Amino acid sequence: MNELLKLVHGVVNWGMDTAESMNAGVLIDASVFYALMWVSVLAALGVVLCRNVVHSALLLTASFIGVGCLYIYMDSPFIGAVQFLVYGGAVAILIVMALMLTRRDDMAHSNLSRSLFCQAGAAVISGAFFLCISVASLMTQFREMSAELGDSVTGLADMMLTKYILPFEVAAVLLLIAMIGALVIAKGAHES
């Protein structure tokens, strides 16, 4: 009981101190982060747990958009825009298109899971993975510092077209190969 009282007292004191030092900006910052975090995490959980695969696809888009907002939160508006454009736009369209191309008999139970035993095993594996990573990142003392880097689009352009010119061209080749490969695979099915 005493411990509980002390805890409540500490929390109230902390709230008063924060309000007094006019640190409302920190609280707004944190609430924005947690709101975006819950949007992306709950949508991701929905993707994994939904019985209807169309709902999964739509929730996946919601998760992508939440993550894109988090990029903007991290002062990386260009990556956020890329996330909206590529993931929230093109990839989402492609996945919904794939669902439309492959017909199912019963849409309400289209997203089947494996057996209960298998689900429990998967939960243990992914839970253990999460535990490992979170303990590792909590134990590590990161030297945090938000350096003033200037405009990200300008910096990205300078790096992309001078130092990282080869990966840039290889990305083009990769996209070309992906496009031709997907066309060949999909068109072949069309003709047969």
Residues that contact another protein, how many (by CB under 8 A): 124
Nearest to 40 by CA among 88, 81, 94: 88
Nearest to 37 by CA among 11, 84, 74: 74
Residue 16 engages another protein in binding (rule: CB under 8 A): no
- Least Å from the CB of residue 164 to another protein: 6
Residue 39 engages another protein in binding (rule: CB under 8 A): no
x/- contact string, 148-167, with another protein (CB under 8 A)? -x--xxxxxxxxxxx-xx-x
Look up residue 88 and give its two tokens. 């929230």
Gap between the Cα atoms of 65 and 40, Å rounded: 8
Q: How far is CA 59 from the centre of its chain?
A: 12
Q: E strand or H helix at 74, and its extent?
A: none
Backbone angles phi, psi at 137, to 5 degrees: -75, -25
For another protein, the binding residue among 20, 41, 55, 109 (CB under 8 A) is 41
Q: Which 117-146 residues touch another protein, going by CB under 8 A?
A: 118-119, 121-123, 125-127, 129-130, 133-134, 137-146
Q: Which 71-110 residues touch another protein, going by CB under 8 A?
A: 71-79, 82-83, 85-87, 89-91, 93-95, 97-105, 107, 110
